[in-house]
Structure 1
Amino acid sequence: MAGQVIVLDGGMGRELKRMGAPFRQPEWSALALMEAPETVVAAHRAFIEAGAEVITTNSYAVVPFHIGEQRFAQDGARLAALSGELARRAADEEFQRSGRAIRVAGSLPPLFGSYRPDLFDAKRAPAMLAVLIEALLPSVDHFLAETQSCIEEALAACMAVAPTSKPIWISFTLHDECGVSGLPALRSGESVAEAVAAVREAGAAAVLFNCSLPEVMGPAVDVARSVLGDTGLPIGVYANAFPEKTGTAAANEGLSDLRDDVGPQTYRDFGRDWRRRGARIIGGCCGIGPDTVCALHAEFKAD
């Protein structure tokens, strides 16, 4: 990954909603797994056809925060396994059709609510992670602990995945209000430099930043690059298309508006800047659809 950009997919939840899949609070994107799994395969196909080289399992909402404690206890493992199987099916179909190998990343989401480092429960996390990891393991090429708001939850994911011997990518979400002029920080307030150093030591195979404004990602890439130096550890970005979220705003507390100034070409320009700064894994998060992934593919894979 030293020079080539790896193109990720985009936001699964909004793509499912756009397609007309079952979609509501609190289940969010997990509802499609329960009621219309074929729509999940179709969403993966749409991102693959747009040029994504890595697709992420639709397991982000397979946690008690979204599906409830009882349902997670009774059906969480099956739903997580299904999310892996559906992603693997889409990847295998593409390989059979074109010979193009698509990697599958197993999503390990925030276990206690997005953007809420204050809710992280270190005692409960290992058991919940174990359910997701065991269920996803047969289907994924690597794990992706995403939208991590604090160092502690990222390290918990690293520790939980370590016995599997599969790589883990760690992706942090950032304070939107930092802006391009301030030092980037996690939503916990911890510094990006401290976070990158911590997961590097814990064995992460890549460090990414996601589910934050595109404008704050460049400075975070700069900090990560300075911390990682010549270690060769890849840096990645997949921003969202939400307006700024400040304070204790929680992802998915309602259906967030999308910015109308972050279209495919504007996002591609952000991606070009992230690459210039050192990012080598680039895709999209909430609100970033196949059209934008197509623009990224055209930008980074033209030659």
Structure 2
Amino acid sequence: MSRPSLTLLDGGMGRELNRIGAPFRQPEWSALALLEAPEYVTRVHRAYIASGARVITTNSYALVPFHIGEERFASRGAALADLAGRLAREAADESGVAVRVAGSLPPALGSYRPDLFDQERSTAIHRELIVGLRPHVDLWLAETQSSIAEARAVREAIGDDGKPFWLSFTLVDAASEAPPQLRSGEPLEEAARVALELGASALLFNCSQPESMGAALEKAREVLAGERSELQLGVYANAFPPVREDAQANETLLDIRPDLGPDAYLGWARRWVGQGADIVGGCCGIGPEHIAELRLHLLTHAYKEALA
């Protein structure tokens, strides 16, 4: 029997910074630690690597004008992105294991708000972040994308630099059996085809509830099977309750669900792997203890069984 192949991502950055006592407030969110105490960012990266993550994500999600303001972004955006990239790169390189760094490229004009999208402004913001991140990252992660237009803008900003491009969409947290769709209302099937068109090497779903992920994986698998594609699939869910439709991610400190501890999250992750996920990690509210549980049961045990 061949060895199973599964890539473990890290978990959420902002909530972990808050939990360990880093400077943390609105509107800066996770960017505040970069501005005032970057050693905390390094601590979080190290914790995730120790827990088993083999892809860590730069702390660049909040380095957009929505969080740090227009003036500070204009004067320091690229420098802060460079710092975020360097901190992740240093943590990966010092670990002694093979850890890749994913350059986080967030929705430029507001998470969960495809209605606020502006092509020209979004592309300009991402290009500023890319200048700082590019020397340090192994791959690009366009994450929490709410619409196909957002995804296209990120791809345009990156250009063709030879680094792998991972594309991650956030989904409507469906309370019913409705077909999976992006927060823009666009169908999952269309998003999967666009991922192929844009040359993504992985299609992921993040910053949505665990309950929303399985149907998206299955629908994506159907599309990819029809296209005979080997595009990898991945999931990193959040631990939020349902978020109202007009909300912006991180505009307020949402509660964390008490029913998504490490063991419960592992149960969801097992389902995702069974539904075809090649990449698994966590988003907001999923911490190092969750990733450690995934490593123990999805990697360590699986390897033992495969080699028996």
* Alpha-carbon shift at residue 162 of structure 1 (Å): 2.7
- Corresponding residue SS for 1:124: helix
Question: Structure 1's 180 and 139: CA in aligned 2 closer, same or farther, altered over 3 A?
Answer: farther
* Partner Cα distance (1:300, 1:278) in 2: 13
* Partner Cα distance (1:297, 1:289) in 2: 13
Unaligned runs of 5+ in 2: 304-308
Corresponding letter in the other structure for 2:12: G
| Counterpart position of 2:71 | 70
* Partner Cα distance (1:199, 1:53) in 2: 23
Q: Of 248, 251, 273, which residue of structure 1 is paired with 2:249?
A: 251
* Alpha-carbon shift at residue 294 of structure 1 (Å): 0.4
Is residue 2:236 matched to residue 1:260?
no
The 5 A counterparts of 1:53-68 are 53-68=54-69
Unaligned runs of 5+ in 1: none
Cα displacement string for residues 235-259 of structure 1 (whole angstroms, at most 9, x for unaligned residues): 0000000001132122112100000
| Counterpart position of 2:204 | 208
Corresponding letter in the other structure for 2:142: A
CA RMSD in angstroms comes to 1.1
* Alpha-carbon shift at residue 161 of structure 1 (Å): 1.7
* Partner Cα distance (2:222, 2:111) in 1: 27
- Corresponding residue SS for 1:238: strand
TM-score w.r.t. the length of structure 1 is 0.96
* Alpha-carbon shift at residue 120 of structure 1 (Å): 0.9
- Corresponding residue SS for 1:28: coil
Question: Structure 1's 101 and 13: CA in aligned 2 closer, same or farther, altered over 3 A?
Answer: same
* Partner Cα distance (1:8, 1:133) in 2: 21
Is residue 2:158 matched to residue 1:161?
yes
* Alpha-carbon shift at residue 179 of structure 1 (Å): 3.7
* Alpha-carbon shift at residue 128 of structure 1 (Å): 1.1
Is residue 2:163 matched to residue 1:198?
no
Corresponding letter in the other structure for 1:252: N
* Partner Cα distance (2:10, 2:176) in 1: 25
* Partner Cα distance (2:87, 2:46) in 1: 10
* Partner Cα distance (2:60, 2:120) in 1: 21
Cα displacement string for residues 71-115 of structure 1 (whole angstroms, at most 9, x for unaligned residues): 0000000000000000001001102xxxx1100000000101110
* Alpha-carbon shift at residue 125 of structure 1 (Å): 1.6
Question: Structure 1's 200 and 179: CA in aligned 2 closer, same or farther, altered over 3 A?
Answer: farther
Q: Is the 8 A contact 2:124 2:157 kept in 1?
A: no
- Structure 1 ranges of 4+ moved more than 3 A: none
| Counterpart position of 1:24 | 25
* Partner Cα distance (2:87, 2:259) in 1: 33
Corresponding letter in the other structure for 2:136: S
Q: Of 129, 133, 137, which residue of structure 2 is paired with 1:136?
A: 133
Q: Is the 8 A contact 2:60 2:104 kept in 1?
A: yes
* Partner Cα distance (2:76, 2:126) in 1: 14
Q: Is the 8 A contact 1:268 1:292 kept in 2?
A: yes
- Corresponding residue SS for 2:120: coil
* Partner Cα distance (2:221, 2:176) in 1: 16
* Alpha-carbon shift at residue 227 of structure 1 (Å): 0.8
- Corresponding residue SS for 1:46: helix
* Partner Cα distance (1:52, 1:180) in 2: 32
Is residue 2:272 matched to residue 1:278?
no
| Counterpart position of 2:285 | 287
TM-score w.r.t. the length of structure 2 is 0.95
* Partner Cα distance (1:104, 1:156) in 2: 22
* Partner Cα distance (1:123, 1:60) in 2: 19
* Partner Cα distance (1:237, 1:38) in 2: 28
* Partner Cα distance (2:140, 2:274) in 1: 26
Q: Of 147, 154, 172, which residue of structure 1 is paired with 2:144?
A: 147
Cα displacement string for residues 123-165 of structure 1 (whole angstroms, at most 9, x for unaligned residues): 2122111111111011000010000000001011122223322
| Counterpart position of 2:86 | 85
Corresponding letter in the other structure for 1:257: D
Q: More displaced, 152-161 or 35-44?
A: 152-161
- Corresponding residue SS for 2:95: helix
Corresponding letter in the other structure for 1:14: R
Identity of aligned residues (%): 58
| Counterpart position of 2:306 | none
